[in-house]
Amino acid sequence: MRRKDREMGRAFGLAVIDRAPFGVLSVLEPDGQPYGLPLSIAREGETLYFHSATGGKKTALLPEGAPVHVVFVGEVRVPAVMAQEEAEEAAKDPARFGELTSKLFTTEFESAMVRGRVRLLTSDKEKTRGLWLISRKFTPQWMPYFPQAVESGLKHTAVYAVDIDEITAKRKKYDAAGVEMKWQRTEPGESPRPPADPRSYETNE
């Protein structure tokens, strides 16, 4: 990572995965061309889970043990770190033009990137657990109806796991004074939101 001053730790990267609305999984097609798949991905421990139909291009590109790279983007926003009056003053002084670039034409962001290898889950218990984690993350309000839904759809659904071999995370964020927080600095009282801790879901195999 070139910007080591913006690198974050493993716990932060896992938290980004948990709050990211989707991840983009990249693989290579047989002809060597890259192919990206935007997916609804949930995590438990050091494993990612996603699902698909039991046939189609996605399944053809994900043979057992295929190496994959997954990118997650968490919160992104344009920071309010320079008031209008200050921007007008900076625009009059060539020595301050750099401030306009760094404080106006920028975004705060957080991201995580994962490398691992894909596994196709084969047992109904593993598949149900993976689907439960995905559903719990994206549709928590409907979980009382999950048993009926999974009974109907399990046999038509492929569920995959990616065991995390490597994870890197990066963040750009400003503090309350408008100073970028580097080298994993946090403000008083700030801490990364903890990873999700879903309730267990027991199934009979």
Picking from 60, 91, 107, the residue at the C-terminal end of a domain is 107
pLDDT at 183 over 90: no
Helix, strand, coil percentages, rounded to 5, for the chain: 30, 30, 35
Question: In this predicted model, what pLDDT tens digit does every residue of 61-104 receive, in sequence order?
Answer: 999 999 999 999 998 988 888 889 999 999 999 999 998 988 89
Q: Which domain holds residue 100?
A: 76-107
88 and 31 within one domain: no
Query: 151 is written with which tokens?
Result: 């009974």
115 and 167 within one domain: yes
Establish if 205 belongs to a structural domain.
no
The distance from CA 45 to its chain's CA centroid, rounded to whole angstroms, is 14
93 and 8 within one domain: no
42 and 127 within one domain: yes
Establish if 182 belongs to a structural domain.
no
pLDDT at 190: 57
Overall number of domains in the chain: 2
99 and 39 within one domain: no
Question: In this predicted model, what pLDDT tens digit does every residue of 12-48 receive, in sequence order?
Answer: 999 999 999 999 999 999 899 999 999 999 999 999 9
Establish if 183 belongs to a structural domain.
no
Establish if 140 belongs to a structural domain.
yes
- Supply the pTM of this predicted model: 0.83
Give residue 173's identity as a one-letter amino acid code. Answer: K
89 and 15 within one domain: no
| Cα radius of gyration rounded to whole Å, the chain | 21
pLDDT at 7: 87
Establish if 192 belongs to a structural domain.
no
Helices (H), the chain: 10-19, 57-60, 84-90, 97-103, 124-138, 146-153
Query: 126 is written with which tokens?
Result: 């593993």
